[in-house]
Structure 1
């Protein structure tokens, strides 16, 4: 196809993709699940078709990258429709610029103490929050971006625009880093389009304002720095990811082992300790870490959403007990995940940085399968790295996980068993096929 032409069929695919994104971002509320699902299926289907056209040289890589950028800008003015987390983000940010520590002040207590007239905007944010009775669980570096958004004033649209602009900038950086890594590993750069055009990525990062894209930035930078033999920078990149969300702490053992194989384990350990202290040290001023830990522990032992193995255990336990076992099963699965991650970290083959990426993807998979809560945006860091490795599990899961939004069809969250069975039945079948492919090709994970 000539680069100067843009056939009607291509125009139709692009238009359908944008219409689907726009419908979810601007038109349908979260409760309209089946309309949102149809729009998402439309987006995901056209996304796969466009990728295949690029692969067959029927659609240019340049046009696809432009399209990915426009898709993010399309949602610039949208009010997040699928998640209400942004209310807490902005509330924490406005507390920060008022000089109030979000780890030391419960939103509920602050509103009760200040009264409704102290700040009508903060009261508006408070009303939209889903966790007013919990201390903030977002690490200090994460809070910085909340504060930057709040500096634009007590008005929702400017706050959202600032926050969304920062998230888009980091997501475009992710695309650049994936391209650089693909080139270093002599892989076709078109693979970046599996990430760049993925509708779940666009909706959850740009649309719903989640920060897993910034986590991915740090993890991709870790891989890039290890590939270039830059231990110091790899330590800083890992600390960045942890400073946004604590989850990448689980990568510590495999990263340390990679550094050891590179002959730089002492340097990596020392620099990581310093950078992690800088990223998380504010939590240990006074006793605010106790509030932070309390909220994290309550989250892991009280909440359940879109789980797989945990729900299976809960179902089986229902034959023997008449209460929800999450208070015991949640911590048990956390310990089990930690043990399996340690085993993977020390047994996984690590001959180069590409092996490191593959190992990190498998670690994320083990972690997520053993969680009691799996929101759709949790998949994004692992998915971003998986496009570098050829592992298709997370690609399939990004298409299936949207089914979890079926729980929000009414005012009370109520998960649908048939949607869970569909999602995880197909996911575990994909995992089986991936493992079978690994064995058939005689690739060794360990």
Structure 2
């Protein structure tokens, strides 16, 4: 009893913060509707504040932060997602595969229009996912589909049961991200507690565990691949990276950026031993000055091998679903994100307004075709003209490439920011962390005073991006000035 009392006195503040978080998450999971905007924002702001305080107080107690992170996730175990309908389509795809039907060849609507119910609870799933989702072919890659199949195997006749199985898979992936993330941070000599800006973040807990978005599984494979690559196991890193791509296609954008990492060769400089000791003491930036980078042409062979393994593994994972119609249907569905859908965009909305002024109508068909080309060119510029030879520089380049894509995309759902957030953990950039705070504003996009107006409230979107771009530009300018000062010294 005395021990319990002493323990409470020593840890009173963090314990109270944890209890408050548990209550807020409980309310978020089981007593919130998406259109209750006041409650949504209030709970989110409260959770962000408590999350920030917990990390500041417990950053030297990694074990406590880990237990707390997964205790918060456990709150959502029995909850039906209340901010997203996508999970209904996940369940449908998993059950369709178990029926021996290729999910890439048929839309949900094609069955329902014929009055067919190929899976259990077909009508409930169709109603839940909505007509827009049901009218398009699935775009979820094969490892993602495997997760849906597992849910169908264990809960083939229960929507809640399927949600629970998928949630457990996502939580398990977060355990993996924590495990390999900590190991990689130690190798890079970055404080280990920074992984909790991702793991403990309310945005991650709500969007991935709560709303069942599989970015968490993709991120697990991505961080595992990074760890293997940094450890010199590039062949296995390629296999695991292919698994990441086969959950979500996003890591494809990173492939060109590996060029300098594989083709570098470092040689210790000829400084005197005393000078080298001073450099080591000075820190990681000075340690980089010990290295003189010269091309390693043998590395080109490793790079080609890396790309080959990624490509072959990805093709093999897609192979079971291949048919003459598969490529056309899949390309058609992916193309929708560039030329049909619009949500929570930034630069695109500005370009769209310019199109209205000059042409009088929406230019998405044109802009949607040009944007991918601009993104590819930007990635190639980062590949060949930016220094990406250290691992932190490589991850920073990935962060900048993906940020540019998201800044120019026509559609940016909140959970997309999760990948930026995990990359930022390994860099000096914190604008993705700020973005994870303000991304909740995207849920207010349709909060118009005129209820008949179903369009996005661009003032809300503008507020989100003013904050994000403001922090991003400030960080870019700060780091540029810091580099100039360092070079003068």
Seen in structure 2, the aligned counterparts of structure 1 residues 103 and 6 have a Cα distance that, compared at 3 Å, is: farther
SS of residue matched to 1:383: helix
Q: Deviations over 1:391-411 (max 9, x none)?
A: 101001000111000135579
Q: Which residue of the partner structure matches residue 203 of structure 1?
A: 206
Higher relative contact order (CA 8 A, sep 6+): 1
Residues in 2 aligned to 1:389 and 1:119: alpha-carbon distance in whole angstroms: 46
1:164 aligns with 2:167: yes
In the alignment, what sits opposite 1:10? 14
Partner-residue secondary structure (3-state), 2:427: coil
Q: Show structure 1 runs of 5+ residues with no match.
A: none
Is residue 137 of structure 1 aligned with residue 135 of structure 2? no
Q: Decide whether the 8 Å contact of 2:445 with 2:460 is kept in 1.
A: no
- By how many angstroms is 1:323 displaced? 1.5
Structure 1 match to 2:460: 419
Mapped partners of 2:455, 2:29: distance in 1: 22
Taking the aligned partners of 2:113 and 2:164, their CA distance within structure 1 comes to 29
1:215–1:242 Cα contact (<8 Å) kept: yes
CA distance in 2, matches of 1:362, 1:245: 19
Are 2:343 and 1:302 equivalent residues in the alignment?
no
Measure the CA separation in 2 of the matches of 1:83 and 1:443.
46
Which residue is 2:418 aligned to? 380
State TM-score, norm by structure 2. 0.85
Distance 1:174 1:413, change over 3 A: farther
Structure 2: which 5+ residue stretches go unaligned?
Answer: 1-5, 266-298
**What secondary structure, in the 3-state scheme, does the structure 1 residue paired with 2:106 have?**
coil
Could you report, residue by residue, the CA deviation over 1:129-188 in whole angstroms, capped at 9, with x for unpaired residues?
A: 131110111112211111110112211121111111111000111111111111111121
Evaluate the alpha carbon distance shift between residue 54 and residue 298 of structure 1 in structure 2; reply closer, same or farther with a 3 A threshold: same
Structure 1 or 2, whichever has the larger Rg, is: 2
1:71 aligned counterpart, secondary structure: helix
* 1:318, distance to aligned residue in structure 2 (A): 2.1
Structure 1 window deviating more from structure 2 (77-86 vs 377-386): it is 377-386
Distance 1:121 1:443, change over 3 A: farther
CA contact (8 A) 1:212 1:378 kept: yes
Segment of structure 1 superposing worse, 337-346 or 95-104: 337-346
Contact 2:218 2:245 in 1 (8 A): yes
Q: Where does residue 335 of structure 1 map in the other structure? A: 373
Q: What is the CA-CA distance between 1:412 and the residue it aligns to?
A: 8.0
Q: Residue in 1 aligned with 2:53? A: 49
Matched, 1:38 2:42: yes
Which stretches of structure 1, 4 residues or longer, exceed 4 Å deviation after superposition?
2-6, 408-413
Secondary structure of 2:65 counterpart? helix
Partner of 1:191: 194
Aligned residues of 1:205 and 1:211 also touching (Cα < 8 A): yes
- What is the RMSD of the two structures over their aligned residues, measured on CA atoms? 2.0
Structure 2 CA distance, aligned partners of 1:411 and 1:153? 39
Q: 2:149 aligned with 1:147, yes or no?
A: yes
User: Aligned equivalents of 1:93 and 1:227: distance in 2?
Assistant: 35
Residues 36 and 53 (structure 1), Cα distance of their counterparts in 2 relative to 1, 3 Å cut: same
